[in-house]
Structure 1
Amino acid sequence: MALKATIYKAELNIANMDVHQYADFQLTMALHPSETIERLMVRILAYARYADEALEFTKDLFETDEPALWEKDLTGQLVKWIEVGSPDEDKVKKASARCKQVAVITYGSAVDEWYKRNSKLKTLKNVEMWKLSTATTEAIQALCERTMQLQLNVMDGEWTLIGNHAQAVIEWEQLQ
């Protein structure tokens, strides 16, 4: 019998003073049995970076042709494609041809090697790449609970994610 996904819920309040975005989001995510808490929390940060009511978590670990998050317009056409981790170069290239905006949120010790190996990604004009520091991914795991209340404050480029029992400074590095 296959293991089932575990459901996590997060109330995410964003106060981004840099772009004057103030919003509350109710997020429901499934943690796949093969997924780590680290990746789950990175998906929340990816959502926060591109936050929009139309942005949705997908079945990316169940469906390999889907990203971690996507946004579709009212006609069902893909507008945003957001990958988490170190995706296959061909998958990102296909997404780049189908969507106006593609983003990759990377983390982990092998990111620099992955980025060098996938040099064709640098030629894609509508693709953003962000790398999270190891300190960030370690700190955000302490915020994880089955039901979370998270407050994200952004001011002067500094991101702070606050949970019930801890907080984490989010360190982003833009690769592209």
Structure 2
Amino acid sequence: MALKATIHKAQLQISDMDRHVYGDHSLTIARHPSETDERMMMRILAYALYQPADDRRGRLEFTKGLSDADEPALWQLDLTGDVVQWIELGQPDERRLRQAQGRSEEVTVIGFASSTPVWWAGLQNKLQRTPKLAVWQIPADQSQALAGLAERSMQLQISIQDGTAYVSTEKGSVDITPVLLKERGQ
């Protein structure tokens, strides 16, 4: 018998002073049996970091992710169903990133393992001329600290200022400072 997803609920308050995006969101997160707390919390962080200012170009959504190899961790679909933003977590291969660029306006990768610099060094030259792609690294100690805040029911406040996300819950707080490995447009 197959294992079922574990449902997590999060009340998320976003205050992104860098992009002037503010809002409260009630999230239901289906955590795949093979997904770790760290990856689940990275999905929530990505949701906060890439939340659009309005719904004119569609909403940012969690996808089937690990359950469907053709979908990223999150995406923003416009009203016609076209992909505006494709967000991958981890260390996807070159073929997957090229396919994502063909299907969307922007592709973002957020790596969070300590091996991310090694993974990126192997792909950097191959993906040099991919103007839709941005690659970020969350330092492993920060992503692991974020995983420590995971609960089945969470209230998260995420404030983003000067490129740092300040995540706080009743359990504690974590500062996350993403490191840019590849800028979009280059």
TM-score normalised by the chain length of structure 2: 0.90
Q: Is the 8 A contact 2:21 2:51 kept in 1?
A: no
Q: Does 1:72 align with 2:67?
A: no
TM-score for both structures, normalised by structure 1: 0.95
The residue number in structure 2 matching 1:45 is: 45
- How many percent of aligned residue pairs carry the same amino acid? 45
- Does the Cα contact within 8 Å between 2:138 and 2:176 map onto a contact in 1? yes
**Alpha-carbon separation, structure 2, partners of 1:141 and 1:60:** 18
Q: Which moved more, 1:2-11 or 1:149-158?
A: 149-158
Partner of 1:174: 180
Q: In structure 2, what is the equivalent of residue 60 of structure 1?
A: 65
Query: Could you give the per-residue CA deviations for residues 40-73 of structure 1, whole angstroms, max 9, x where no partner exists?
Result: 0011111111013601111111111110001111
Q: Distance in 1 between matches of 2:69 and 2:141?
A: 29
Letter in 1 for 2:32: H
Structure 1, unmatched stretches of 5+, are none
**Structure 2 counterparts to residues 1-176 of structure 1, below 5 A:** 1-52=1-52, 54-119=59-124, 120-176=126-182
* Secondary structure of 1:43's aligned partner: helix
Count residues with an aligned counterpart.
176
Deviating 4+ runs (over 6 angstroms): none
Contact 2:163 2:177 in 1 (8 A): no
| Distance (Å, rounded) in 2 between the aligned partners of 1:34 and 1:141 | 15
Q: How large is the RMSD of aligned CA atoms in angstroms? A: 1.2
In the aligned structure 2, how far is the partner of 1:26 from the partner of 1:121? Answer: 36
Opposite residue 100 of structure 2, the aligned amino acid is A
